[in-house]
Structure 1
Amino acid sequence: MTKTNTIITIGREFGSGGHEIGAHLAEKLEIPLYDKEMLDRASKDSGIAEEILKAHDEKPTSSFLYSLVMDTYSLGYKTGSYSDMPINHKIFLAQFEAIKKIADEGPCILIGRCADYALENYSNVLSVFIHADTTKRAKRISRMYDMTESKAREMILRTDKKRGSYYNYYTNKKWSAVQSYDVCLDSGKLGIDGCVETIIEIIKVKERMKKAVL
């Protein structure tokens, strides 16, 4: 397809291959991919140390981290309205604003971090959620991290719980629910390449419909 005008946000269950799907899409569509890179942008724009952003990355609020960070760092925000805001809210706002700035630069792929919520008022966004059967995800994680499938299942449960709690806390939607996204795909059934091909076809339809309306 010709170069897209669409911004793709990808939410994902841990071990479902969401990042890999995003990377393949970025290559095929010739647009940038932002995953951990969003933290670097948020740090540069906000003045919050990147290690603080990483400590809170897609995790629900933690009173322990809040106390630790507040005792150790000066956040560097220059806007007075942020001064009394809890640390986890400052961090979310920094990422929220970074996501919007990235989207304003043009078509891209954004992985996780409530990007679909941050860009819900953008007409050129396609929000995707990637999921898969736990058994298939456990096999994938056990290969990637050289661990038993039992340990992989534990890792999956912990990570999904954190991602879900983070998403549900900061948005008005429910993580992994079909109503929260434009498209939900099962990578266990479609495979990585099948998900990539499907998303590209959906983008073609979306952009063709938009042209028809115009």
Structure 2
Amino acid sequence: MNKHPVISIDRQCGSLGKKIGEKLAEKLGVKCYDKELFAVAAKNSGLSEELFYSHDEKPANSLLYSLVMDTYSLGFTTSGHMDMPMDHKLFLAQFETIKQLAEEKSCVFIGRCADYALADYENLISVFITADENDRMEALKELHQIDDAKAKDLMVKTDKKRSSYYNYYTNKKWGNVKSYDLCINRSAVGIDGAVKIIQEFVNAKTLRIKEK
């Protein structure tokens, strides 16, 4: 199994987790995949990239979820089962693409249950980024040029969607410290501080893996 580090980052809305992931990837000299994952998954699967955007992080119904996991456990892929439901195809295409990219080289993934897809990957570092509510709202107001009420609404709805998606497709709980290797409060350490902490964790875990 490859021993190069791969980092997955889950984040609360407004925590600037994506910015932290992008800056981390820049420091490490690797690629960061957020919605960039869609283009790769679309190319690999033959599905339209627009479909990935329209179904982004939306959990399917429980019956479809069962079909997804049963099919994946049997080793079936999207290319071999084009008659399956669209949500099924899109989930498996992203799942397989995450695994493929991680096997090729170090990279950073933002959201999309990447830590679950790579649960058996030896040198995965799973991170959750949070921040104080006021800081999160200020970040959203600046980013989207919206007022307090809209920032609050966006924050609550986005976190609910991310939580539902993660909890639905994994056997873990979104935002729970037990679900991650590392949880960081951006309000306490800043963006650069968060990047530095993750870098140090990556170095420590990589060294430990090499020593095995």
Shorter-chain TM-score category?
0.7 to 0.9
1:103 and 2:98 aligned = no
Q: 1:202 Cα deviation (Å)?
A: 0.9
In 2, Cα distance between equivalents of 1:178 and 1:87: 33
Name the residue aligned to 2:129: 130
Name the residue aligned to 1:69: none
Name the residue aligned to 1:66: none
Q: 1:26 Cα deviation (Å)?
A: 1.0
Name the residue aligned to 2:143: 144
In 1, Cα distance between equivalents of 2:87 and 2:173: 19
Name the residue aligned to 1:14: 13
In 1, Cα distance between equivalents of 2:58 and 2:191: 26
Name the residue aligned to 1:117: 116
Name the residue aligned to 2:185: 186
Q: Deviations over 1:20-79 (max 9, x none)?
A: 1111111111111111111111111112211111011112237xxxxxxxxxxxxxx541
Name the residue aligned to 2:23: 24
Q: 1:95 Cα deviation (Å)?
A: 0.4
Amino acid paired to 1:152: A
Amino acid paired to 2:80: T
In 1, Cα distance between equivalents of 2:191 and 2:184: 10
Identity across aligned pairs (percent)?
48
**RMSD over aligned Cα atoms:** 1.5
Q: 1:138 Cα deviation (Å)?
A: 0.5
Q: 1:122 Cα deviation (Å)?
A: 0.4
Amino acid paired to 2:198: I
Q: 1:19 Cα deviation (Å)?
A: 0.9
In 2, Cα distance between equivalents of 1:39 and 1:143: 27
Amino acid paired to 1:10: I
In 2, Cα distance between equivalents of 1:41 and 1:61: 22
Deviates more, 1:134-143 or 1:202-211: 202-211
Name the residue aligned to 2:80: 79
Q: State the secondary structure of the residue aligned to 1:122.
A: coil
Name the residue aligned to 1:91: 90
Q: Deviations over 1:151-179 (max 9, x none)?
A: 10100111111111111111111111111
Amino acid paired to 1:90: K
Q: State the secondary structure of the residue aligned to 1:199.
A: helix
- TM-score, structure 1 length as denominator? 0.86
Q: 1:208 Cα deviation (Å)?
A: 2.0
In 1, Cα distance between equivalents of 2:48 and 2:12: 27
- TM-score, structure 2 length as denominator? 0.87
Deviates more, 1:4-13 or 1:151-160: 4-13
Structure 2 residues without counterparts, runs of 5 or longer:
62-77
